[in-house]
Structures are given as structure tokens and as C-alpha cells.
Structure 1
């Protein structure tokens, strides 16, 4: 009887055993540390001893199975070649009995050899010998034809031979199931009997295509139900090849058909190919393969229907009819999910192609009106199509484009989910193209597109931004279309300005809508001026109303992005006004001055102080343009308007920030007048400009010295010296001519001696001057 201690006693025993184990572990760790130390001391000595060099085995570049397969392949090829040579060359030396006996015996012996080889587990050798045997059967067929059936029909004989060989090889591969070659080879040969039998029977292209498609169906069955992987792979390849050949033949028949009967025969082939593809998808165990084959089947069904529709309906209605066929694929529901998804893909492909066919009509409607730029106010078009194409060619078959676009949009809406958000572009395109497609009156077309803009702007406040950009594109198109007549232009531009302004007040997408509204307001101002018969430079004054409105609206807008968009659009409108007035100098000066006033008004805002610089530039430009208009050629008249404001700004800046450098505060302003005047002095024969410039430079120098400012001191002093040298230059030249030739070198030598003797003192003077300038601001 086994004794079981109480729990307390058992716990005590376990604790004692664990303590003994811990003690033993500590001893083993100590011993391990000692051994590691000892080995580290011995290893350097052992490293100095010469180590024996192990022989390096030569690298093998091929594996044993690979070598075996290569040898077997070469052997089989050589034997096959030998058999062919015997059959083709040496055949005539034997009688009929000898020929039959030799070929029969050799073929049977070769085909039987793999049985013994497989028993000895020589599978690769058996495969090679079996391949030789299959090749010999082909040679036997050829030899039999040459010996006994030379007078028979060649096509019929080939049909019989390929059928027989396919059956024999299949039986042979089934009997020797361990061999992988015979059954795939039989499947390849099985692709030939049906088309050969059809050709032998005198069948046409339709019969041959039907036979090939039936062969493809057989291949599909083998691929789906076959057990050996090599057979399934070969079956897939053969099914694709045979199916493609059959579909190509069906396409040729459909294109050659001139009536419903011929198109119907081609449609039957397409339907057969589609049935094979859908059946493949239905029974395929892989979902990706099922989806692809189902999609191909759906496209084949539509192609077959298209061949019939091509000869029964007009070209205008062909695309809508095909689109309906593609949409009908979505109605198939009681099928596996993979099949339904594949048919949905096929339907999407058909719908995409239909959309591509409608693109020329959309492009003609949206982009065609751009040509109105060079033909403004030429007269009321005949209809909406004439307005869009300017009397040009309407794309062929584009009359049904609105229906195609509407059907695609409806399908997307019905499918729901993520597809619904893609319904807006085709629906928009359908409505935009409709007036031109139906050749509605010009005014009706303008009204429809205006309503589209209003609807899209309303939708943009609650949906994705795509509605906003469609509204912008549509508005541009209707604006160009309206250029046909004066009244339409003024009305459309006014309406567009109001629509986008109202959309900007809603807050959503305000930066875009506000900018577009001001852009159309700019165009409206130009159109109003042109309608009044004003010259472009006078129209510029009217366009300036847009920058004024932008400057007044910006402080009342809360969103920073909208403020920036409004100001940028206003600035662009100002540039447009300047461009309109560029050929009239007095008006250009006025426009620049008014733009400067607008910029100065904007600079009053604390967050737009930088606009003050733009205002100063604009005022200066206005002054220069006015002086040029007055034909003033005095340099100082152009530079003093720059210098005075610049010095005032510099003074104010130093007053607010005393640490500002005098070069930053006064340098640009002083240089703006002193340097151009100094350049003008060089070509001025009069004495007044040098006198005034020298006096001004002296005054600037004294002010710089008094205030201890570098910029005035250096610039004023330099200009003063250069003016003085310019005025003394004639006298210096006369004095130099009066001196003997030895005097200048002597003076130069004395100068060098003096500088050399007092070199250190001169260095101290230079450092002192630099220190004095450095203490100046």
C-alpha cells in the first residue's frame, strides 16, 4: 500500500529538496566560472600553434538528380533521332514484313520497359523511356501511312491518328499511373482530333470554332476534376488556348455578319464560350479564378449580344443597347458569390467603356465654348449644339450620350454604398450634354446649365467637394457659351457672381466660392465697360471696384482661408486693371495710385501691415508713370519720391526700435537718391546738379556725424568725395600735364617711404577709425 504524507509534511520535504538543489547549482556555477578563467588563460598560447589546414572539397555545380535528368533527356532525344533516321532513311532496305516486325517489336519493347524500371524504383529512367515510346508511336503512325495508306486523305488520316494516339496514350498513362508524362501528352494531342475531323468533313469556320470550344469544355472538365497536378496544369493551358481560338473565330464571324442570321450564329459561339467560363467559375474551388472566369463569361455574353445588335439597331443606339446588356448582368443573383462578383466586374467594364464612348460629347460641350474668346458677341447661335461647337462637327453617335450617362448614374445610385458617391459625375455630365444632344434653343441651354450650377452649389454645402468643382467647371462653360451675345454675357456673369457669393455666405467651401464670385465680378465689370463702349483703360477704373470690394469685405470675414482667398482675388483683379490701362500713361498712373490707396487702406489692419510696402511701391510707380507722361527727365524727380517715404519709414522704425541699424533704416532711402544723382553728375555739364548734390551729401555727412550714424556718414562722405573729385578732375588733369614726368614717380616714392616709416601709426589710426564707426549705429 502506498503511503501518502499529509500536505504539511509533503510541503516541508519539497522545501528541503529545493534548498539542496540551490546549493548544488551554486557549486556548479562556481566551477563553471573557474573553468572559463582557465580556458581564457590557455587560449592565447594555443592560438600561436600552427593549425592544420582542412582540405577544401571542390564545389559541386550540379546535383545528382539534375545530372541524371540531363543524361536521361539526352539519351531519349538521341534514341528518338535514331528512330526517325531509321524510319525516314533506312526504311527502304527492308520488306513489308521486316518493317512491321522491327517497328512493332521496338515500340512494344520500349513501351514495356517502364514496367520493369518502375519495379526497380527507377522512375526518372522510366519517364525517359516512356517518352521515347510515345515518340515511336508517332513514327509508327507515319510509317503505317507510308506503307499502307498513301492513297488515303491526309486530313482524315491525321484525325484518325490523333484520336487513336490520344486514346492509347491515355490508356497507357492510366495503366502506369506512376508515370507523369503520358496523360499530359495525351491531353495535348486530344486538342487536334475535333478540328481535324471538322476539316476532313468539309466543315466551315463556325463548325470548327464550335468543335474547338467543345474541346475547351473538355479541358475545363479535366482541369476541375483531374487528380494529377501535371494533367490539371496542361488542361488549364489547353483550355485557355482553345477557348481563345474559339472566341477569336466567333469575333471574326460577328464582324463579317451582314444580317441577323450570321450575327446569331456568332452569338451562339459567344454564348457557348460564356457558358464554359461561367461553369468554370461555378465549380472552381478558388474564388479568384472564379471571379476572373465569371467576368470573362459576362463579357462574352455582352459581345455576343453586341454582334446581333450591330446589324439590327442603328449606330446611334448601339452603345445604349450594349450598356443595357451589361447592366443586365447585375440582375443575376442566384449564383455563388464569386460568380456574382465576376459578373459585376464584367458589368463595370461594359459601363466604363460606355462612359468612354460618351466622353467626346462631354468634351465638346464643356471645352468647345472656349473658342468664343476670339468670337465675342458674334450673334445668337442657332441652338445649344451650335453654341457649344461654334457650328462645328458634333461627335458621331453622341446624341444618346445623355442616356448612357444617366443609365450609369442610375446604376451607381441603385447599388448604393460607396458606389452612390460616384453617381454625381455621370449625372452631371448627362444634364450638361442634354441641351446640345437634343439641340434645344440657346436660351434653354443657358438656363439648364445655370440651374445645374445652382444645384451643385446647393449640394456642395452638404456633400463631397466634387460637387463644388463640378459647379466651377460648369460655370466656366456657361460663361464662355454666354459670350455669343451681349445680353447673355451680362446676365450670366451677374447670375454667376450672385450664386457663388450666396454660396460663400453659407460658410462651407467659402474660400473657393468667394474667390470665384470675385472672379466673375471682375469679368462682369469688364463686360459692362465693353457694353458701354469704353476704352480698355477706362474699363480699368470700373474693374478697380472689385479690389475695393475685396478690401472692404476682408475685415468682416472670420475664416482666415477665406480672407486670404478674397484678398488674393482682389489683388489679381487689380493686376487686371493695371494691364488694361497700360497703354495710357496718365490713366495708368491713376490706376496705380488707386491701387496704392487700396493697399494703404488694407495696411491699416494690424494683421496686414505688410500691405504698406505694396502701397509705397504702387505710389512710387504711379509717380514715375505720371512724370514719364509729363516727359520729365530729371533723375531726382523719380528718386526723391522714393527717398522721402523711405526715410520717414526708417525714422519711425528707429523710433520704435532704437537698436535698428542705420543701414536698415536710412541706407535704402539715401542710396535711392544719392547714387542715381551721382551717376547723373558724370554726364551733366552744368554746375547746378553737382553743387546741390555736394551740398546734400555734406548735410547728410554732418547729420551722420552728429547723430553718430554709419549709413549717413559713409554714404554722404563717399558721395561728397566723389563729387569733389569729379569737379576737380579737369584741373587735376591740367596740373598733371604741367608737371615734369619725373614728379609723379617721385611723389609716389615719398608717399611709400612715409607710409612705411609710420606704418604702425597708420594701423593704429585705421583701427581707431574702425572703432569709431563701430560705436556708431
Structure 2
């Protein structure tokens, strides 16, 4: 009480001479009394609730005294002329001493409570209370004291919280670990939002919806770095802790991280909260990838290969990252034009990264034979559909790039499957990809009248016909023989009907080779059943017939060549 009375006396000219002696004597008495009792309790034990019974009143008295000194105003005489402030008895000196008292109080709490963590019955509660206390002090100081000394005090409180977290984690007192990491992480985030005047504008100052967007570039980057650190502190320890054990923690972390990334992507376009957008997006996406990755990697070490647990983690993670990318693309259309392209590229980059990541995860999993065919079918069909949908609906350059990445990923998955002999038959995956290529080529011909059919349709038609044709050269089932003939004929007729060169030529060549492959056994049988000189005679007769009408046949060949070359 003496220290508080001395701090209050600074504002009164009559009692000012007694202020400093009262403060010094009162503070010294508080520290000596509390320190003596606490040292005895820590030395002899037990360190029970009597620790808090002495520590908390002493801490509150020191903080109250320091706060009163910080808030004290200079003494002004009744005549209205400010009294000259001496170096010893001035506002700056009182504020420095006030901050010192608050710092001493916090250090006393830190040292005493960490020293009492060895008393098992109260250790977990003390560790959690320490972290929460310092987290609240960090936010409160930043909220109510915008001075440089206040910022130093706030960061000292956060450092004390981190030391408490380390001390408690070293004794395994945080069960679960989130009891320590989440309060500190959220305190970092809230403190930066307060500092950026997004949360809790200074008392008496009007709040502005444009506060976050109006920050200078250097200050904005500084705030975003600290925000990312706070979000990472809140999420990433849980990500690492969820790499083994039950699935509850990684599922919750995956959901929370995905929600954070999606909300962050949407906040990129918000005028007030945009400063939080990119940190939330980056940390959310990284946490999703880390959570899923730490659960996926052990699956590849099993003798048989990854089971269906692979898709149970991969597909939700891919969906969350894809949704985050879609949120960025949505936000790109609602921010200034100068920043829009970068945000849009980031969104498309996430989408393309999802496609590449799925293939990189699924291709090695083909060693698990029971699911190899199903994995090939699902992935190639989905990527083919994605390629066709993006090609048809998004004509922008980024859309084209995303479509070709999906196509390349499907082709890579097809190649990985063929290398392992799955699926059987290969048409289960080659035909859908070929159909997607042919349809996209057809759309391109409709959009670009000057385009040739070879560049638009030939890749898809080759993929549609050539694999089956190569297999047809050996023993093939009846469905392949009949199907290849029907498809080749349809391609040929399409080329004739639409006057397209690539379908006409490819259909004709494939149909001719297919016919020779199927008729060759009968041709060989007929050749061996007739004397050789008869075949020689037939050949001579044909040569004579051609020579007799040589000029006319040359003209016919030229006419056919001209008509074929005139096709699109």
C-alpha cells in the first residue's frame, strides 16, 4: 500500500517530495518479504499453493505500482506554468522505473513458477497457467500501450511464455501439447493484429475498414512474418505430434489447417484483413501438406506397399489445397489490377501442384497389386476429365497451362502403369485419355478455323488407335479385333465426312495394317497351297496391265494426292 500511495503522490504537488521514498521503501519491502518466503518454500517444500499465496499478491502490487508510475502525468503548478523536470524526478524516469517494476514482477513469476514445476501435483496446472498468463500480458500490453517501451515489455512477456513452454515441455507437462502452443501462437497473431490497428484500435481513435490495406510495405511484411510465425507455432507442433499414434489429432489438424488456408485465401481480397490473408494461406497449405505427408511416408515402407490408407489421407489433403487455390483465384478478381495476376498465378500454381503431387504419391503405390488397377483407372480418368474440363471452360493462358499439366500427369501415370503391367487391358486407361485429347482437339478446330487437323487431332487419334494396333499384331481377343476395326473405320469416315486430313490418313493406315494383320494367316496359307510359278505369272500379268495404262494411273495417283492434301 505504501508503494501504491507513493506512486499516486506524483500527481499531487503537496505530496510529491514523499513520492519516491514511499515507492522505494514499499517496493523493497514487497520484494524482500515475498522473496524470502518463496525461497524458503522452494528450498524446503512442499511447493504447494502457498507459492501462489505469496507470489500473486506481490506480483499484483508491483504491477499496479508500475502501471501507476507509467500512467502518471507531469506535475503542473496551479499558475499553469509547467515545472521544470529534473533528470531524476521527471516523467521519463518514472515511466522507466514503472516498466522496470512490471518487468521484475514478470521475471519473478517466471523464475518462481518454473522453479516450482518439480512439485508434481501442481506442475501441469502451473505450466499451463504460466503460458496463458504471459500470452495475455503480451496482447494486453500491445493493446493499451503503443509506446516503444511497451512493445519491448510485450515481447519480453512473450519470451517468458516461450521459456515457460520449453520448461514445461521438457518435463512433459503439456498433455496435449496444444495447451501450450495454441495460446502462444494466438497471442502472437492477436498482438500483430492489434499493432496493425486491425483489432482494438487505440482508445478514442476511429476504426477504419482500410487499416490493413493502408499499411506501408515494410510494416506490412513485418506484420505478415510475425503472423505466419504465430500461426505456425499454433499448428506445426500438432502436425509433428500427429505423425504417429491415433488418427484423431492429425484429422483435426488437417481440418483446421485446411480451413485456415481457405479462409486466408478469401481474406486476401478483404480490405481490412488482407494482411492476415497470405500468412494464413501459406501456413494452412504447409500444415495440410506436412500433416498428410507425415502420415503417408510410413505407408511406403511396408513390404506390400501402400494400402487404401494412402487415398484416405491424400485425397482430403488434395481437396483442401485445391479449394485454397480456388479461393485465391476468386480473390484475384476482387483486388486491384496490379496485384491480381500474382494472386491468380498462385491459385493456379496450387492447383497444378495438387495434380503433380497426386501422381508422385500414386505412381509408387502401384506396387500394391490389389489396388493397382483401381488406382490407375481412378487417377487417369479423373485427370483426363480435369484436362478436358479446364480446356473447355478456361481459355486463359494459365488455364491452358493447367490443362496441359493435367494431361502430362495423366500420361505419366499411364506410363508408370504400363511399366508395371497395369491395367490389363491397357485400353481401360488409354482410351479415356485419347478421347479427352480428341475432344479438346475438336474444340480447338472450332475455335481456330485456320488450324490443321494434324496438330489438333493426330495425338489423340494415335493414342486411341496405335496401342490396340500394336497388340493386334499378335494374338488378340475378339473384342479388340472387332473394336479396332470399327473405330478405325469410324475415324476414316469422319475424315471423309468432315474433310479432315489426319483422321482420313490415320484411319486408312490403321485399317489397312489391321486388315493385313488379320488376313495374313489366310494369305500365307493360300501362298503355300499354290505353285510358286503361278504367283509369278499373276504378278507379271498385273505389271503388264499397269504398264499398259501407265499414264492414266499416274494421273489418278496425282489426283488422289491433291485431293488428300486439300483436306484440312
TM-score category by the smaller chain? 0.3 to 0.5
TM-score by length of 2: 0.47
